[in-house]
Amino acid sequence: MEDDSNRKTVYNLEERTFLFAKNVRLSLKKMKADIFHNGDICQLIRSSGSVDANYIEANESLSKKDFLHRIKISRKEAKESAYWIRLIIETVNNKDVDEIKKLYQEAIELKKIFSAIIEKSKV
């Protein structure tokens, strides 16, 4: 398994989405958040895990329609994760957010990957 510190690109998308959810949790665990950010953190944990869970479901789908539906959910959850990361970065006033800044770019990249899958699946 590859982790964020290795900085190698993971080409197995199921593994990459898992690492995204894992790294979100590990980064947030180190962060010293206050009561005002607990809701944002919980939402980010949920959405980041949902990216991976729905991608796994897509891979097990029985029809193209179900596959596309799950990929669209994964894309939506990646976009939502990017939103929560950005909100946390811009409102938490400490150096602990430096680690999750890397995850913002990963959320954006995952969203783009899912968008490309959707576009190619329409043909």
Residues near 33 by Cβ (< 8 Å), separated by ≥ 6? Answer: 41, 88, 92
pLDDT in tens, the chain (123 residues): 444 444 455 579 999 999 999 999 999 888 777 777 889 999 999 999 999 999 999 999 999 999 999 999 999 999 999 999 999 998 886 676 777 888 999 999 999 999 999 999 876
Q: What is the CATH number of the domain that holds 93?
A: 1.20.1440.60
Q: Does residue 47 belong to any structural domain of this protein? A: yes
Q: Does residue 103 belong to any structural domain of this protein? A: yes
Q: Does residue 3 belong to any structural domain of this protein? A: no
Q: Which of 26, 30, 119, 39 is nearest to 75 (CA)?
A: 119
Q: Does residue 63 belong to any structural domain of this protein? A: yes
| Prediction pTM value | 0.86
Q: Does residue 106 belong to any structural domain of this protein? A: yes
